[in-house]
Structure 1
Amino acid sequence: MSKTTERIDGRNLRSLQTRHKLLEAAQAVFIENGYQRATITQIIKKAKTGYGTAYVHFSGKDDLLIVLMDDIMNRFYEIAEMSYQPSTKQEAISMITTQASLFLDNAIEQKAILQVFVEAIRFSDKAHQKWDEIREKFVERIASDVAYAQAKGLARADVDRDLIARNWFSLNETQLWDLVNGKNKHSVQEIVRNMTILYTSGLYPS
């Protein structure tokens, strides 16, 4: 490896490390202060980096928040991406139950940063737009699962898969925010049981 390549690799590594430090600092500052009270100055100071260096990576606190939203929600999306190829109605219900449980368990685990997101969605146009994009990504994946079940003759063919997917995500989304905000006192197990019964009883014929 040439000295020039070593210098370039070293700069890239330092750049990645700085970006990571800024994101870690942003998450800590957001959780400590909330979205509205958090400032880019607080984040830069916590990351122990310079203003000029910080602005090379992010344009402001909203930019940092959007990257954090993508990162955290990708963990939820990994659950949505779990293999869904049931061969029976009962197998489909079992898979849906597992996914919903993991989704809401993850919401509880990520409660602190999700509280920041829900505040930001109310006050930041960028955060609101990002959540709309995230929602559509989930809806698209759910619709694909519904289409698979319809093609296999497991799910009703007379329903619109996109509408069904949107309604199912809406149920999960409502429960997610209720759990994050402490508005739901039921256990995740009980929430999932009721949601799944409501969803599958309409989609999967007896």
Structure 2
Amino acid sequence: MNEKHDVIDKRHLRSIKTKQKLLEAAKEVFLEEGFQKATISQMIKKAGIGYGTAYVHFEGKEEILMILMDDVMEKFYDIAEVSFLPKTKEEARQIILSQATAFLKMAETERSMMQLFEQAIGISPSISTKWKEIREKFIQRISKDIAFAQERGLARTELNHGLVARGWFFTNEMYLWEIVRNEHLGTVEEIAGTMTAVYANGLYI
């Protein structure tokens, strides 16, 4: 019985390692070739694994890119998931400023991967759909934070927290892509400070 489990465990471990090897190779190929020119064949060759093995793990390059997107966006989610329990408007503003700054700095850090994602979003309908799902996840989290502030009497209750959340995320997203393209005017700190001031003064009482 134990021997059988050992065989399964070893296979599982080998499977995880192969998958990770392919993802690392895929990342290199994507960054070298761009989304459109990159091929599964190039990734398999770079990873040094068999064709059949690769297709056991992934259906195609879009699925591979989606996993790489999840890995990168997890870093952005960590920023969005920071505990939001302000007792005053100023405390809320400080948390929001800190999050906005960290979010835009992450765009700088992950610029090469984000450039790759932007290419893919413009070409592939499934990657575009994936980005919309990522966007909605952020919006839901922001909406929850706004609702919390409204319940505590810190934010304007006449405003629809879902719509405000969309507006705030779209502002962040617009600046994120400007930073990714290196088209931003002003420093990340200036952008985050300006955005936060306009947002917090409009929403908080």
TM-score between both structures, scaled by the size of structure 2: 0.98
Tell me which residue corresponds to 1:191: 191
Tell me which residue corresponds to 2:122: 122
Matches within 5 A, 1:1-206: 2-205=2-205
SS of 1:163's partner is helix
Q: CA deviation at 1:13?
A: 0.2
Q: Which amino acid aligns with 2:149?
A: A
Whole-angstrom CA distance in 2 between matches of 1:158 and 1:28: 49
After superposition, give the CA deviation of every residue in 1:159-188 in whole Å (9 maximum; x if it has no partner): 000000000000110111100011114211
Q: CA deviation at 1:22?
A: 0.9
Q: CA deviation at 1:26?
A: 1.1
Runs of 5+ consecutive residues of structure 1 not aligned to the other structure: none
Q: Which amino acid aligns with 2:131?
A: W
Whole-angstrom CA distance in 2 between matches of 1:153 and 1:52: 59
After superposition, give the CA deviation of every residue in 1:11-51 in whole Å (9 maximum; x if it has no partner): 00000001111111111111111111111111111111111
For structure 1, which segment, 112-121 or 179-188, has the greater mean C-alpha deviation from structure 2 after superposition? Answer: 179-188
Whole-angstrom CA distance in 2 between matches of 1:25 and 1:164: 40
Whole-angstrom CA distance in 2 between matches of 1:22 and 1:171: 35
Q: Which amino acid aligns with 2:168?
A: W
Percent identity, please: 50
SS of 1:156's partner is coil
After superposition, give the CA deviation of every residue in 1:57-99 in whole Å (9 maximum; x if it has no partner): 0001001001111111111011100000000000000000000
Q: Which amino acid aligns with 1:6?
A: D
TM-score between both structures, scaled by the size of structure 1: 0.98
Whole-angstrom CA distance in 2 between matches of 1:123 and 1:55: 22
Whole-angstrom CA distance in 1 between matches of 2:127 and 2:134: 10
For structure 1, which segment, 178-187 or 78-87, has the greater mean C-alpha deviation from structure 2 after superposition? Answer: 178-187
Whole-angstrom CA distance in 2 between matches of 1:27 and 1:195: 33
> How many equivalent pairs are there?
205
Q: Which amino acid aligns with 1:126?
A: S
Q: Which amino acid aligns with 1:135?
A: R
Whole-angstrom CA distance in 2 between matches of 1:166 and 1:2: 53
Runs of 5+ consecutive residues of structure 2 not aligned to the other structure: none
After superposition, give the CA deviation of every residue in 1:111-158 in whole Å (9 maximum; x if it has no partner): 111100000000001100000000000000000000000000000001
Could you say what the CA RMSD is over the residues aligned between the two structures, in angstroms? Answer: 0.9
Whole-angstrom CA distance in 2 between matches of 1:177 and 1:147: 27
Runs of 4+ in 1 over 6 A off after TM superposition: none
Whole-angstrom CA distance in 1 between matches of 2:32 and 2:108: 17
Whole-angstrom CA distance in 1 between matches of 2:183 and 2:159: 32
Whole-angstrom CA distance in 1 between matches of 2:70 and 2:95: 25
SS of 1:73's partner is helix
